Amino acid sequence: MSRNKPAGKKSRLGRALKSNSAIPAWIILRTNGKVKINPLRRDWRKNDLKV
């Protein structure tokens, strides 16, 4: 990918990067283990972004 990206694409890539994190441990404790995984988690090899 090129080094110079359009601002819109760069913001979408940053948003996808932030949403690809695990759920914090305190949320697992607060929900008594009902919420354990992030359903929006994405692997960079398996799924492509539509940006």
Answering whether pTM is above 0.85, one says no
Task: Kindly list the domain boundaries of the chain, sorted by start residue.
Answer: 22-51
Q: What percent of the chain has a predicted confidence (pLDDT) above 70?
A: 98
pLDDT in tens, 12-32: 999 999 999 999 999 999 999
CA distances 23 to 32, 42, 44, 46, Å, are: 13, 13, 18, 20
C-alpha dihedral, 37 to 40 to 43 to 45, nearest 10°: 150
Residue 51 confidence (pLDDT): 86
Give φ, ψ of 27 to 5 degrees. -70, -35
